[in-house]
Amino acid sequence: MMATKEKALLTERQALSSSGLRITSQRALILDIIGRGHEHLDADEIYRQARKKDPRLSLSTVYRNLQMLKKAGVIDELRFGESRHHYEIKSAVEHHHLVCLGCGKVVEFKCRLCPEMRKDVARKEGFDITGVEVTMTGYCAKCRQGRR
């Protein structure tokens, strides 16, 4: 498990260097934090964690670097219909998100039916579909208990 994560981290560095962006220690740090997080962290959380390692970092620097990494195609910015944006390392594997309306927890899932749906819609609408994003909202097991 650990080894896989380390390997993934290496890939992130490679993605960064092949994107043409200069690898600064700040970018590497931000990328490491995003890559390590199982949750999809928002900018504030990334900032909070990054500050522990580099107290000189400002929130605006974190924002600026996130935008650059996004533009370079190294990370994805996700919006789940609220004001906060979440970040994740751009992954080759298509996946989707479940968002808890109670605590904001984000869970990834793979969609077995999506490739079928994609083909079907592409054929019917004459679209060249380049991406599918499914977001489901609801309440996680923990929050469901609290609502009872």
Instruction: Provide the minimum distance between the beta carbon of 145 and Zn ion in the complex, in angstroms, as a whole number.
Output: 10
Which of residues 59, 114, 134, 143 is near Zn ion by CB under 5 A? 143
**Per CB under 5 A, which of residues 62..101 are in contact with Zn ion?**
88, 100
Query: Which residue, 31 or 57, is less far from Zn ion as judged by CB?
Result: 31
Q: CA distances (Å), 110 to each of 94, 97, 115, 119, 133, in order?
A: 7, 9, 11, 17, 11
Q: Does 108 participate in binding Zn ion (rule CB under 5 A)? A: yes
Q: Does 45 participate in binding Zn ion (rule CB under 5 A)? A: no
What contacts 24+ positions apart, CB below 8 Å, involve 42-47?
42/84, 42/85, 42/86, 42/87, 43/84, 43/85, 43/87, 44/84, 46/87
Q: Does 140 participate in binding Zn ion (rule CB under 5 A)? A: yes
Residue 96 host element (H or E) = strand 96-100
Query: Which residue, 8 or 23, is less far from Zn ion as judged by CB?
Result: 8
Q: How many residues bind Zn ion (CB under 5 A)?
A: 8
Whole-number Å distance between alpha carbons of 148 and 144:
7
Tokens read off for 95: 């996946």
Query: Which residue, 14 or 135, is less far from Zn ion as judged by CB?
Result: 135
Instruction: Provide the minimum distance between the beta carbon of 110 and Zn ion in the complex, in angstroms, as a whole number.
Output: 11
Instruction: Write out the residues near Zn ion by the rule CB under 5 A.
Output: 88, 100, 102-103, 105, 108, 140, 143
